Amino acid sequence: MGKITVIGLGPGSMDEMTPKALRAIEEAEVVAGYTPYIKLIEPLLKNKEIIGTGMMQEVERCRLAVECAAGGRNTAMVSSGDSGVYGMAGLVLEIAGQYEPDKRPEVVIVAGLSAVNAVASVLGAPLMHDFAIISLSDRLTPWELIKKRAALAAQGDFVIALYNPKSKSRVKHIDEIHDILLQYKSPETPVGIVKSASRPDEQKILSNLRDFNREDIDMFSMVIIGNSRTYIKDGWMITPRGYRL
């Protein structure tokens, strides 16, 4: 029986991949993943078999990878960031779980630095207190539920990090979320936008909930909205933990 290792590659540069992730890729005979992520690690892939496909074929890609591992080959499935945050870890476990126990490959999950961590470090320290992560992608989640989660997180005064804030087919979702957040959070609440954290075209924008420009946001961006105590000073977004100074 082979092994499938699900690996988070980190947010964008090879520098932010963990040594454990690097080692797991080196040891693999077969590497599966969304083609742009495969490209990112190309220098590590000499003499390996590659299963790289387009964005809409996650289930098929995972099935192939799990099958490969069940057939006895050491297989790696790579995702960006952390594989357990809107990545492939859950799908691999679900698919492996469909195999009879005696035919099921071993599954190992290697943690990665999620985009939210890289984005927070670019902005300063916005996640020092309780925070909620919400993806605005309604491809697999009903939009009504996403809106409800945003409203409740805002009522709970959580710092909110928005993954997948926009795509070519979802340009208005961020506007609807903006309206919802304004019902519960002050218009002065700091907002940080980071595009392509840890990549050569990294960009950082600081604003507030009333004024932030939704045009600045694309599918490579993350938006972090502060809690009621978050502030911006000297170009840093800071959520106080509560220490007395």
Given the rule CB under 6 A, which residues bind ligand SAH? 11-12, 79-82, 85-87, 114-115, 118-119, 163-165, 194, 196-199, 219-222
Give the nearest distance from C-beta 84 to ligand SAH in angstroms.
8
Give the nearest distance from C-beta 43 to ligand SAH in angstroms.
19
For ligand SAH, which is the closer residue by CB, 51 or 119?
119
Give the nearest distance from C-beta 151 to ligand SAH in angstroms.
20
For ligand SAH, which is the closer residue by CB, 86 or 158?
86
For ligand SAH, which is the closer residue by CB, 152 or 219?
219
For ligand SAH, which is the closer residue by CB, 70 or 194?
194
Closest residue to ligand SAH, based on beta-carbon distance:
81
Structure tokens at 57: 């074929």
Give the nearest distance from C-beta 29 to ligand SAH in angstroms.
24
For ligand SAH, which is the closer residue by CB, 87 or 105?
87
CB atoms within 10 A of CB 107: 18
Give the nearest distance from C-beta 83 to ligand SAH in angstroms.
7
Give the nearest distance from C-beta 236 to ligand SAH in angstroms.
18
Give the nearest distance from C-beta 119 to ligand SAH in angstroms.
5
Buried b (16+ CB within 10 A) or exposed e, 196-228: bbbeeebeebbbbbeebebeebeebbbbbbbbe
For ligand SAH, which is the closer residue by CB, 1 or 219?
219
For ligand SAH, which is the closer residue by CB, 70 or 161?
161
- What DSSP line would sit under the chain, residue for residue? --EEEEEE-BSSSGGGS-HHHHHHHHH-SEEEEEHHHHHHTGGG-TT-EEEEE-TT-HHHHHHHHHHHHHTT-EEEEEESB-TTSSSSHHHHHHHHTTS-TTTPPEEEEE----HHHHHHHHHEETTSS-EEEEE---SSS-HHHHHHHHHHHHHTT-EEEEES--BTTBSSHHHHHHHHHHHHS-TT-EEEEEESTTSTT-EEEEEETTT--GGG--TTEEEEE--TT-EEETTEEE-------
